[in-house]
Structure 1
Amino acid sequence: MADVSVGPPDRDRLFGADGARGADRAQLLLVAGLVMAVSLVTLVVLLNATIYSENVATRGIESADGEALEVRATAVDGTGELIDATNRAAPDSHDDAAAEVRDGVTDLDGELSRSYAERGGVARVELSSVRNGSRITGTIAGNGSVDPNAATLATDVSRTRGFALDVDPGSLNETDSAGAVDDAFHVDLDNSTGGSHQLYVYTNETDGNVTVAVGEDGSVPTARCAVPPDGRDRVTVDLTGQRLGDRPCPGIWPTALAPPDDAYNVTLANADAADGEVTATVRPVSEDAVTSNPDLTATPAVYEATIALRYRTAELRFETAVRVAPGEPDA
C-alpha cells in the first residue's frame, strides 16, 4: 500500500536558501520607511511652528512701532500747532511767547495721557527748550517808503520757516525767465559767503501762468513750476514748503540755506511788481528781534521748541527728544 502521509514543508522550497536574510532586509526597509515618515512629519510641524512664531513676532514689532510713531506724530503736530497759534496772537515779548507754549505743552501732556491711558499706555510730553524768533507779516507792495527795489524782510537770519507769499496774479509783471531779473518781483537771499539766491514770481508772457523761477547771483533764472491763474484772487507761493498753489514745487528753496552754514539776509526786491501779503518766521543769529522794513510788522515769536516724549506699554518702552519747527524746509 502506498504511503500517502504528508511530511513537514520543505523550507528551502518555500523560502529559498537565503530566506532568513531576505526577511531581515524586508523588516529593515519597513522600519527605515517608518523612521523617515516620522522625521518628515516632525520637520513639517517644526517648520510650521517656526513660521507662525516669526509672523506673530513680526506683527508685534510692527504694531509697537506704529503705535510709537502715532504718539510721536500726535505730540509733534500738537506742539507745532501750538507754536504757530501762539505766534499768530502776537505776544508782547519772547518771555510771554515761551510761557504760552510751555503752558500749552502742559495741557497737551494731559490730553495725551488721558487718551492713551484708555488704550493701556502711559504717555508723557514735556517742553525741554524753546528758541526765540520773529514772525514777520505785511503787504508786499507797501514797502516803498524805504526802497521798493530792496525792502528788507529780515537781516542776520540763521533759519527761516513758514515763508509764504499770497500774491494777486493780476498784479504780477508779465515777462519771461530772461527778463525776470529786471522786471519780476523776487525774494533775494544774500549769504555773505555762499553768494545770493533769487526766487522770482511773475506771469509768463507766453501762456499767462503764474511762474516761480530760481536764480543764483543775479543770473538768468530757471523756471521751476507754474500754475494757471484760473481767475483766482490770490495764489500762494510757499517758499520754505516748496509749493505753488496746491502743487508741489521742489527746488525753489536753496539747499544751502536748509540749514545754512552762516547767516543770510532776506530782501523783497522789485516789491512794487506784485500785490499781496507776506508771512515768515525767522530765527536771527542773536535770538533777538530782527531788523525789518518799517512797513512790515515783526513780533516776538517762538521759532522752534524741543520736546521730550515718553511712551510705555506692557510690550513697549519708547523715549525720544524731538525738535519742532513747523514749516521749515528739509535739510
Structure 2
Amino acid sequence: MADVSIGPPDGDRLFGGEDTSNADRAQLLLVAGLVMAVSLVTLVVLLNATIYSENVATRGIESADGEALEVRATAVDGTGELLDATNRAGPTDHADAAETVRNGVKDLDREASRSYAERGGVARIELLEIRNGSRITTDMAAVDPNASTLAADVDRTRGFVLDVDPGSLVETNASGAVDNAFHVELNDSTGGTHQVYVYNGTDGNVTVAVGDNSGEPTVWCETPPDGRDRVAVDLTGERLGGRSCPGIWPTALVAPDDAYDITLMSANAAAGEAAATVRAVSGDTVTTNLTGGRQPAVYEATIGLRYRTAELRFETDVRVVPGEPNA
C-alpha cells in the first residue's frame, strides 16, 4: 500500500527561512500590480463617461438653441408680414392700423401656441409696443421735376424701394450723373448730404452710384435690364434688381442721432414708382410734399416672446422692423 502518513511540519514554512523575504516581496509586487491595473481601468471608465456626458450635453444645447431660433424667426417673420400687409391695405388712421396689428398678433399667438403645443412646447407672442409712422408712395410723374421732399424730419426709414423703368433712365456716366441723373438726396442735420444716383450706364446696365455733398459719385453696383419692365432699387434693403448691393444706404443714417430729410431730385430723368415707410422724430405723421401719397402706417412693433419645453426656457423682447437697414 502507498504510504499516506503525514510527515512533520516544515519548519522553514512555519517559522521563516532564507527564502521567505523573496516570497513576500513577490506577493507585494503582485498586489501592487493588481491595484494599478484596477486604477487604470477605473480611470478609463470615468474618462469615457465624462466625454460621453459632455457630448450629450453639447448636443442638447445646440438642439435647444436651434429650437429657440426657430420660434423667434417664426414670430418675427409673422409679425413683419402683418405690419406690411396692414400698411399696404391703407388703414383709415393710426388707431385703425394699430388695432389691426394688435388683432393680428393675437391670431399669430393662437396659431403658434397650437402649432408648438403639438410638439410639446408652450409658446406665447405678445404685442408690447407700436410706433406709428407714414407710408408714402408716389409715381415719378407726380413728383416735381426739379426737387420734391418725400419725407422731412425723420429718424428711421424702412422699405424704401424705387421701382424704375430701365428704358426711361438717362444714359450717362458717373461724372455726368450729378447734373443729369435721377437721384435721392439724404440731408442730415449737420449740413452734410448723401446722394444715390440711378441711371443707365454707357454699357446699358442699370447703374447705382453713391456720392457725398454733390461730389462726383462712385459706381456701386450694376445690373442688366434683361428686358424687364421694372427694376427694383431697394435702398434700405441695399439690393439692385434682386442682387445684393451693400453700402448704398449711408451707415450714418441707419440709426442717426438727429433727423434727416429725403428728397427726390431730377424725377423727370426716371419713370416708375417710389415707396417708403418712415418714422417722424416726433408725432405719428411724417411731413411730405407728396400728401396725396401719404397714408397712416405702423412703422415698428415690439413683441414679447416666451417659449418653454421640458428642457428649454426661452424669453426675449424683439423689435420688428421689416426692411430697415442693418447696422
- Asked if Structure 1 and Structure 2 have the same fold, meaning a TM-score greater than 0.5 normalized by the shorter chain, the answer is yes
Structure-2 separation of matches of 1:33 and 1:194: 86
Structure 2 residue aligned with 1:76: 76
Structure 1 residue aligned with 2:159: 162
Deviations 1:19-59 (A, max 9, x none): 33332232222222211111111111001100111111111
What SS does the corresponding residue of 2:142 show, helix, strand or coil?
coil
TM-score (norm 1): 0.91
Matched letter for residue 237 of structure 2: G
What SS does the corresponding residue of 1:174 show, helix, strand or coil?
coil
The CA RMSD over aligned residues, in Å, is 1.9
Deviations 1:67-86 (A, max 9, x none): 11111111111010000000
Matched-pair contact (CA < 8 Å) for 2:150–2:290: no
Structure 1 segments unaligned to the other structure (5+ residues): 1-7
Structure 1 residue aligned with 2:49: 49
1:256 aligns with 2:227: no
Structure 1 residue aligned with 2:108: 108
TM-score (norm 2): 0.92
Structure-1 separation of matches of 2:150 and 2:205: 26
Structure-2 separation of matches of 1:299 and 1:166: 19
Structure-2 separation of matches of 1:295 and 1:142: 11
Q: CA deviation at 1:18?
A: 5.6
Matched letter for residue 236 of structure 2: T
Farther-moved stretch of structure 1 (292-301 vs 150-159): 292-301
What SS does the corresponding residue of 2:43 show, helix, strand or coil?
helix
Aligned length: 316
Structure 1 residue aligned with 2:232: 236
Structure 2 segments unaligned to the other structure (5+ residues): 1-7
Matched-pair contact (CA < 8 Å) for 2:138–2:290: no
Structure 2 residue aligned with 1:184: 181
Q: CA deviation at 1:296?
A: 5.1
The equivalences for 1:112-151 within 5 A come to 112-144=112-144, 148-151=145-148
Matched-pair contact (CA < 8 Å) for 1:139–1:296: no
Q: CA deviation at 1:298?
A: 0.7
Structure-1 separation of matches of 2:234 and 2:217: 18
Farther-moved stretch of structure 1 (57-66 vs 183-192): 57-66
Deviations 1:246-295 (A, max 9, x none): 21101000010011111111011011111111110000112332222337
Structure 2 residue aligned with 1:3: none
Matched letter for residue 193 of structure 1: T
Structure 2 residue aligned with 1:5: none
Structure-2 separation of matches of 1:216 and 1:82: 36
Structure-1 separation of matches of 2:210 and 2:292: 24
Matched-pair contact (CA < 8 Å) for 1:172–1:202: yes
Structure 2 residue aligned with 1:222: 218
Structure 1 residue aligned with 2:4: none
Matched-pair contact (CA < 8 Å) for 1:141–1:273: no
Matched letter for residue 71 of structure 1: V
Q: 1:18 and 1:287, CA in 2 relative to 1: closer, same or farther beyond 3 A?
A: farther
Structure-2 separation of matches of 1:318 and 1:125: 12
What SS does the corresponding residue of 1:175 show, helix, strand or coil?
coil
What SS does the corresponding residue of 1:141 show, helix, strand or coil?
helix
Structure 1 residue aligned with 2:302: 306
Structure 1 residue aligned with 2:3: none
Matched-pair contact (CA < 8 Å) for 2:223–2:241: yes
Structure-1 separation of matches of 2:248 and 2:191: 17
Structure-2 separation of matches of 1:136 and 1:197: 20
Structure-1 separation of matches of 2:186 and 2:284: 20
Farther-moved stretch of structure 1 (82-91 vs 314-323): 314-323
Structure 1 residue aligned with 2:286: 290
Structure-2 separation of matches of 1:288 and 1:301: 9
Matched-pair contact (CA < 8 Å) for 1:131–1:287: no
Matched letter for residue 202 of structure 1: Y
Q: 1:269 and 1:296, CA in 2 relative to 1: closer, same or farther beyond 3 A?
A: farther
Structure-2 separation of matches of 1:225 and 1:22: 91
Structure-1 separation of matches of 2:42 and 2:191: 69
Over the matched positions of the two proteins, sequence identity in percent amounts to: 74
Matched-pair contact (CA < 8 Å) for 2:147–2:263: yes
